[in-house]
Amino acid sequence: MDKSKFSHWFFIGPHIILFVVFILIPSIYGVYASFTNWNLMTSPTWVGLDNYRTILTNQDSSFHHEFFNGMKNTLIFVGVSVPLMVAIPLVIASAIEHKKVKFKNFFQSIIYIPGLISISAAALIWSLIFNSQLGMMNNFFGADTVWTATQPYAWMTIFIMTVWGGIGGNMIIYRASISNVSQDLYESAEIDGAGPIRKFISVTLPSIRFPLIYTVVMTTAGSFNVFGQPLMMTNGGPRESTTVLMMYIRDLAFGSGQSIAGMASAMAVLLGMVILIISAAQYYVMNRNSA
Amino acid sequence: MKKRLAFLIVAVTTLLLTGCGGNENVIEFWTPLTGEDGAYMDQLVEDYNDTDPEHPVNHVITSDLYTQIYTVLQSGSGIPDLTLIHADRVPSFVNNDLLVPMDAIISQQPELNEDNYLPEAWTAGIIDDVQYTIPLDIHGSAMYYNIDLLEQYDVMDWLDDDVVTFDEMLELEGQLEEGHYVVNDALLGWVALAQLQNVGGDIEGADGEPTVDTDEMREVIRYLREINEAGLMTPYGEDGYLMFQSGNVLFSTDGTWSRLAHEQVESLNFGVTNTYSHSAEVFHNRSSAHLFSMLRSEERTPEKEEGIGEFLEYIREHSIEWAEAGQIVASREVVEDPEYDQFMQSFYTQDERHEDSLYIYTYEHYPYVAEAIDNYIADIVHGEMDVDEGLHEMQRFVNDRVAEGDAELEDAADAVEDFDDDVDTNE
Amino acid sequence: MNKKYNISKYLAYLFLITVCLIWVVPMIFGFTTSFRSQGEVVNEGFRLLPVNWIVDNYMAILENTSSAPILRWIGNSLFISITHTLLVVVVISITGYGYSRMRFKGRDVLFFTLLGISFFPNVVNIIPLYRIVDILGWVNTPWAMIVPGLAGMGNIFLVRQFMKGVPKELDESARVDGASDFTIFFRIVLPLIKPVLIVGGLFSFIGSWNDFLWPVIVYTDVQKMPVTAGLLLLQDIYGNYQMVGQLMGSAILAIIPTLLLFLFAQKYFVSAINLNAGIKG
Q: Is residue C52 less than 8 Å (CB to CB) from chain B? A: no
B70 touches chain A (CB under 8 A): yes
Domains of chain A listed by start with CATH number: 69-290 (1.10.3720.10)
Q: Is C273 on the interface with B (CB under 8 A)?
A: no
The enclosing H or E element of B127 equals: strand B126-127
Q: Which of B60, B68, B267 sits opposite C43 (nearest CB)?
A: B267
Q: Which of B414, B179, C22, B252 lies closest to A111 in space, CA to CA?
A: C22
Closest residue on chain A to B374 (Cα): A239
Please name the residue of chain B whose CA is at the shortest distance from the CA of residue C44.
B246
Q: How far apart are CA B3 and CA A288, in angstroms?
A: 48
pLDDT digits (tens, 9 = 90+) for A159-201: 999 999 999 889 988 988 888 888 888 888 888 887 778 888 8
Cβ-defined contact of C117 to A269 (cutoff 8 Å): no
Return the number of CB contacts < 8 Å for B and C.
95
Give the per-residue SS3 of chain A.
CHHHHHHHHHHHHHHHHHHHHHHHHHHHHHHHHCCEECCCCCCCEECCCHHHHHHHHCCCCHHHHHHHHHHHHHHHHHHHHHHHHHHHHHHHHHHHCCCCCCCHHHHHHHHHHHHHCCHHHHHHHHHHHCCCCCCHHHHHHCCCCCHHHCCCHHHHHHHHHHHHHHCHHHHHHHHHHHHHCCHHHHHHHHHCCCCHHHHHHHHHHHHCHHHHHHHHHHHHHHHHCCCHHHHHHCCCCCCCCCCCHHHHHHHHHHCCCCCCHHHHHHHHHHHHHHHHHHHHHHHHHHHHHHC
Segment (H or E) for C81: helix C70-101
Look at A257 and B401 and tell me if their CB atoms are within 8 Å: yes
B270 burial (CB, 10 Å; 0-12 / 13-18 / 19+) is buried
Give the chain B residue nearest A261 (alpha carbons).
Answer: B408
H or E stretch including C140? none
Neighbours of chain C (3+ CB pairs under 8 A): A, B
Per-residue pLDDT of chain C (281 residues; tens, 9 = 90+): 456 667 888 888 999 999 999 999 999 999 999 999 888 888 887 888 888 899 999 998 898 888 889 999 999 999 999 999 999 999 999 999 999 888 888 899 999 999 989 888 889 999 999 999 988 989 999 999 999 999 999 889 988 988 888 888 887 888 888 888 888 888 888 888 888 898 888 889 988 998 999 999 999 899 999 999 999 988 876 656 678 888 999 999 999 998 998 888 887 877 777 776 665 43
Distance of CA B258 to the CA centre of its chain: 14
In 3D, which of C23, C267, C11 has the Cα closest to residue A101?
A: C11
- Asked if C27 has any chain A CB less than 8 Å from its own CB, the reply is yes
Query: Measured between CB atoms, does B408 come within 8 Å of chain A?
Result: yes
Name residues 139-178 of chain C within 8 A of A (Cβ): 147-148, 150-153, 156
Distance CA C211, CA B316 (A): 42
SS3 C122: coil
Instruction: Name the CATH topology of C65-276.
Output: MetI-like fold (1.10.3720)
The answer to whether the Cβ–Cβ distance between B35 and C237 falls below 8 Å is: yes
Q: Which of C37, C45, C220 sits opposite B63 (nearest CB)?
A: C220
Closest CA to C249 of C66, C67, C59: C59
* C39 touches A at CB < 8 Å: no
Please tell me if residue C221 touches chain B, with a CB cutoff of 8 Å.
yes
The interface pTM score, or ipTM, of the predicted complex is 0.87
Of B407, B144, B88, B419, the C-alpha closest to B265 is B144
Q: Are A74 and A244 in contact (CB under 8 A)?
A: yes
Most B CBs within 10 Å, among C42, C218, C242, to test the B interface: C42
Please give the full DSSP string across C183-204, using - where no structure is assigned.
Answer: HIIIIIIHHHTHHHHHHHHHHH
> CA C54 to CA B392: how far, in whole Å?
50
Alpha carbons B264 and B261: distance in angstroms, whole number: 5
Partners of residue B253 on adjacent β-strands: B143
Mind listing the pLDDT tens digit of every residue in chain B (427 residues)?
A: 444 445 444 444 444 444 444 567 899 999 998 877 888 999 999 999 999 999 999 999 988 888 888 878 877 778 999 999 999 889 888 988 889 999 999 999 999 999 999 999 999 999 999 999 999 999 888 999 999 999 999 999 999 889 999 999 999 998 899 889 999 998 899 999 999 999 999 999 888 899 999 999 999 999 999 999 999 999 988 888 888 998 999 999 988 888 888 888 888 999 999 999 999 889 999 999 999 999 998 888 899 999 999 999 999 999 898 998 889 999 999 999 999 999 999 999 888 889 889 999 988 888 889 988 988 899 999 998 899 999 998 998 888 778 766 666 666 666 666 555 544 444 3
Mutation for testing the B interface, residue in C63, C67, C233 having most B CBs under 10 Å:
C67
Q: What pLDDT sits at residue B408? A: 61
B12 touches chain C (CB under 8 A): yes
Q: Residue B140's beta-bridge partner residues? A: B287
**Distance in angstroms (rounded) separating the CA atoms of residues A75 and A174:** 25
Chain A neighbours (≥3 Cβ pairs under 8 A) are: B, C
Angle between helices C244-276 and C2-33 (to 10 degrees): 140
The residue among C132, C241, C244, C246 with the most chain B CBs within 10 A of its CB, best to mutate, is C241
- CB contact, 8 Å: B176 with chain A? no
In chain B, what residues touch A257 (CB-CB under 8 Å)?
Answer: 401, 404-405, 408
Which of C13, C14, C23, C217 is best to mutate for the A interface (most A CBs within 10 A)?
C23
DSSP code string of B340-398? GGGSGGGGGGSSHHHHHHEEEP--TTHHHHHHHHHHHHHHHHTTSS-HHHHHHHHHHHH
Residue B403: Cβ within 10 Å count: 11
- Could you give the angle at the alpha carbon of B313 between the alpha carbons of B310 and B316, nearest 5°? 155
Cross-chain CB nearest to A146 (options B238, B409, B411): B238
Interface contact B67, partner C, CB < 8 A: yes
Q: Is C206 on the interface with A (CB under 8 A)?
A: yes
Q: Which domains does chain B carry? A: 24-139+288-362+406-426 (3.40.190.10), 141-286+363-396 (3.40.190.10)
Asked whether the beta carbons of A76 and A244 are under 8 A apart, the reply is no
Nearest-CA neighbor of A276 among C84, C124, C128, C59? C124
Provide, as residue numbers in chain B, all residues whose Cβ is less than 8 Å from the Cβ of C236.
34-35
Among the partner-chain residues A17, A42, A257, the one whose CB lies closest to the CB of B415 is A42
> Per-residue b/e over A202-232, b at no fewer than 16 CB within 10 Å?
ebbeebbeebbbbbbbbbbbbbbbbbbbbbb
Of C95, C185, C231, the CB nearest to A121: C231
**Residue in C102, C127, C250 nearest the CB of A33:** C127
CB-based contact C136 B41, cutoff 8 Å: no
Nearest one of A237, A265, A245 to A73, comparing CA atoms: A245
Residue B132 DSSP code: -
How confident is the model at residue A190, as a pLDDT? 81
* A115 has a chain B CB within 8 A of its CB: no
Domain ranges of chain C: 65-276
- Does the distance separating the beta carbons of A271 and C123 come in below 8 Å? yes
Contact between chains at B404 and A259 (C-beta distance less than 8 A): no
Contacts of C257 (CB under 8 A, 6+ apart): C74, C77, C78, C209
Task: State the pLDDT at residue B121.
Answer: 93
Enumerate the residues of chain B whose CB falls inside 8 A of the CB of residue A259.
67, 70-71, 408
Residues near B355 by beta carbon (within 8 Å), at least 6 away in sequence:
B118, B119, B120, B348, B349
Contact assessment for residue A274 and residue A224, using Cβ atoms and an 8 Å cutoff: yes
pLDDT of residue A24: 94
Phi, psi of B112 (to 5 degrees): -80, 75
What's the pTM value of the predicted model, to 2 decimals? 0.86
Closest CA in chain A for residue B240: A133
Instruction: Name the minimum distance, in Å, from the CA of B10 to any CA of chain C.
Output: 8
Asked whether the beta carbons of residue A133 and residue B243 sit closer than 8 angstroms, the reply is: yes
**B422 to B89, B256, B299, B415, B425: CA distances (angstroms):** 27, 46, 14, 11, 5
**Better pLDDT: C182 or A73:** A73
| Whole-angstrom distance, CA of residue C146 vs CA of residue C224 | 13
CB contact under 8 A, A101 and C126: no
**Is residue A252 pLDDT above 70, yes or no?**
yes
Q: How many CB atoms lie within 10 A of CB B134?
A: 28
Distance of alpha carbon A282 from alpha carbon A290, whole angstroms: 12
Write phi, then psi, for B277 (nearest 5 degrees).
-150, 170
- Sort out which chain A residues have CB atoms less than 8 A from C239's CB and list them: 124, 127
